[in-house]
Amino acid sequence: MTVTVPAQRRAPLPAPERRGRTEVADRVVSKIACVAAAEVPEVRDVQPRGLPWTPSAGEVHGDQAVVRLNVSVAYPAPLHAVAARLREHVIDRVAAQTGLHVTRLDITMTDVGGDLP
Amino acid sequence: MTAPTPPSPAPSPAPSSAAGPAGPGGEERSGAATEARLIADRALACRGVARLSGGPFGTVATYLPGQRLTGVSADERDVEIAIVATLDRPLPQTADEVRSAVADLAGDRPVHVRVDDIIVEGT
Amino acid sequence: MIKGMNGRRTGRGNRWGLALVGLVLAILGGSALARGLGAFPQNWAAARTTVVDGNVVAFFARTSPGIWWLVALAALVVAVLAVRWLLVQGRRDARRVLRIEDGPTGVTEVSESGMAQAVAADVESSPAVFHAAAHLVGPRPEVRLRVVADESAPMGELSRHLSAVALPHVRDALDRDRVPAVARVSLEPSPSPHRVVR
């Protein structure tokens, strides 16, 4: 069976309260956060750190999100500065891509070592 | 959520013209099936939409005669679309494009768009 | 180091405990099978009779209620052992971390063993060092080093490397002005094919 798509008339969006929700799944936030974290130069590897019941690093509540990451960081590197850069970058990227505000980003540096890039 | 549809004549785009043995109820359901298909096709045509998704538990779906249309669920109260997106552009923009693409089909009903997953290059 | 010892002890406890439980279950299962197949003297435990026969009922009736207190005590002991076992598993799996930051926007933690490995590798980068092991002891991190050094290398080289390279790196990484460090150095002769690295 074939269905032809009728010419699309782009109707203007209805008023925001009539428009319907846009939801972003936890794993979407998790993936975006991991990609963003890996972009920080001193970060050598990123793993989402899920809770026991989910492998996803992100948790979305309304328009806010909480993210937990396990990273491995090069050494010697100032770990506080790396963490601050990580936090800023991940929060910016998640906000730009999803419109969600990351209120909390927990970082565990599970592995330290390896040369700086 | 649309109830499972019993086998009925092939749905046609205009529900009013579908005269079949299934009676008025069947007409309505085949109209809903057509609508779900149209919504799915229009959503898929939007930039940034890679495919449709069933939602976290595969619950976003419409049951059509002999098959299951994953990713769209429309009833008289609202329209729900679950997508797998690409990261070409911000997800709210993709969601809004989907919403406006199906706006005339949705009419007064709110269109909920759920970004269920994304495709990241290199993974 | 303490963690490693705990891990080994836990592992040994697990092996003994599992072996004991397995042995008890194997004996019970084996005797049930033997009884069913008629391997026991038939005038003592006949294959075709119920396990809980008149004698067993009579035994419990005779010793009641004292026997039930014993059963309850045994169950309690098993429960305590089981809970303790669970807690020990948790202790072994708990990764020790150093919390270096705790703000409203999230916490930052460093794995102590990860950091220790990095420090050890850094110390080992000196040509005077054959082998190094490091441990971090929190919460105000303190570095404990065990270094196996080349006895023929200039004496100053090792201390220079520690005080000018390795320890400043630790201070920079943890963003602390002072990180106490203790190094135990053992000297060994230059590499020979038979050198044993401990």
Instruction: Write down the ipTM of this complex.
Output: 0.80
Residue A5 lies in a domain: no
Average pLDDT over chain C reads 84
Exposed / middle / buried, residue C23 (Cβ in 10 Å: 0-12, 13-18, 19+): exposed
Cα→Cα distances B53→A4, A5, C119, Å:
21, 20, 47
Segment C156-175 mean pLDDT? 91
Segment C187-198 mean pLDDT? 66
Residue A19 lies in a domain: no
* Interface membership of A15 toward B (CB under 8 Å): no
The enclosing domain of C158 has a CATH number of 3.30.70.1350
Residue B15 lies in a domain: no
Residue B11 lies in a domain: no
Q: A75 by DSSP, 3-state: which?
A: coil
pLDDT of residue B28: 54
In this structure, the answer to whether residues C122 and C52 fall within a common structural domain is no
Q: Of the given ranges (B14-28, C4-18, C51-65, C180-194), which has the lowest mean pLDDT?
A: B14-28
**Best mutation site among B118, B121, B123 for testing chain A: the one with the most A CBs within 10 Å?**
B118
Residue B87 lies in a domain: yes
Q: Which domain holds residue A66?
A: 25-112
Residue B8 lies in a domain: no
In this structure, the answer to whether residues C115 and C89 fall within a common structural domain is no
Q: Which domain holds residue B56?
A: 21-119
Q: How far apart are CA C75 and CA C197, in angstroms?
A: 50
Chain B residue numbers with beta carbons less than 8 Å from the beta carbon of A24 are: 91, 114-115
Chain A residue numbers with beta carbons less than 8 Å from the beta carbon of C114 are: 72, 109-113
* Interface membership of B1 toward A (CB under 8 Å): no
Q: With touching defined as 3+ CB pairs under 8 A, do chains A and B touch?
A: yes
CB contact under 8 A, A108 and C110: yes
In this structure, the answer to whether residues C53 and C87 fall within a common structural domain is yes
In this structure, the answer to whether residues C85 and C112 fall within a common structural domain is no
CB contact under 8 A, B99 and A9: no
Chain B residue numbers with beta carbons less than 8 Å from the beta carbon of A9 are: 104
pLDDT of residue B14: 40
Residue A18 lies in a domain: no
Q: Tokens representing C47?
A: 């294959």
pLDDT of residue B5: 43
**Best mutation site among A42, A64, A66, A80 for testing chain C: the one with the most C CBs within 10 Å?**
A80
Residue C66 DSSP one-character state: H
In this structure, the answer to whether residues C6 and C86 fall within a common structural domain is yes
- Phi and psi at residue A111, to the nearest 5°: -140, 130
Q: Which domain holds residue C75?
A: 2-93
In this structure, the answer to whether residues C82 and C32 fall within a common structural domain is yes
pLDDT at C195 over 70: no
- Window 14-33 of B, Cβ < 8 Å to A: none
- Identify the closest residue of chain A to B85 by CA–CA distance: A28
In this structure, the answer to whether residues C9 and C86 fall within a common structural domain is yes
A49 versus C8: the higher-pLDDT residue is: A49
Residue B7 lies in a domain: no
Strands B72-74 and B79-86: antiparallel
- Of the three residues C47, C70, C93, the one that is the final residue of a domain is C93
In this structure, the answer to whether residues C60 and C30 fall within a common structural domain is yes
Residue A7 lies in a domain: no
Residue C197 lies in a domain: no
Residue B6 lies in a domain: no
In this structure, the answer to whether residues C136 and C75 fall within a common structural domain is no
Residue A2 lies in a domain: no
Average pLDDT over chain A reads 85
Chain A residue numbers with beta carbons less than 8 Å from the beta carbon of B91 are: 22, 24, 28, 97-99
- Number of domains chain B contains: 1
Residue B12 lies in a domain: no
Residue B9 lies in a domain: no
- Identify the closest residue of chain A to C107 by CA–CA distance: A106
Length of chain C: 198
- Number of domains chain A contains: 1
Segment C99-105 mean pLDDT? 89
Chain C residue numbers with beta carbons less than 8 Å from the beta carbon of A103 are: 105
- Identify the closest residue of chain A to C108 by CA–CA distance: A107
The enclosing domain of B97 has a CATH number of 3.30.70
* Interface membership of A99 toward B (CB under 8 Å): yes
Residue A4 lies in a domain: no
pLDDT at C5 over 50: no
Residue C198 lies in a domain: no
Residue A16 lies in a domain: no
User: pLDDT tens digits, residue range A79-99?
Assistant: 999 999 999 999 999 999 999
The enclosing domain of A68 has a CATH number of 3.30.70.1350
Question: Within chain B, which residues score under 50 in pLDDT?
Answer: 1-26
Contact call for residues C172 and A75 (beta carbons, < 8 A): no
Residue C27 lies in a domain: yes
Residue A72 lies in a domain: yes
Cα→Cα distances C161→B119, C167, C187, Å:
48, 8, 16
Residue C172 lies in a domain: yes
- Number of domains chain C contains: 2
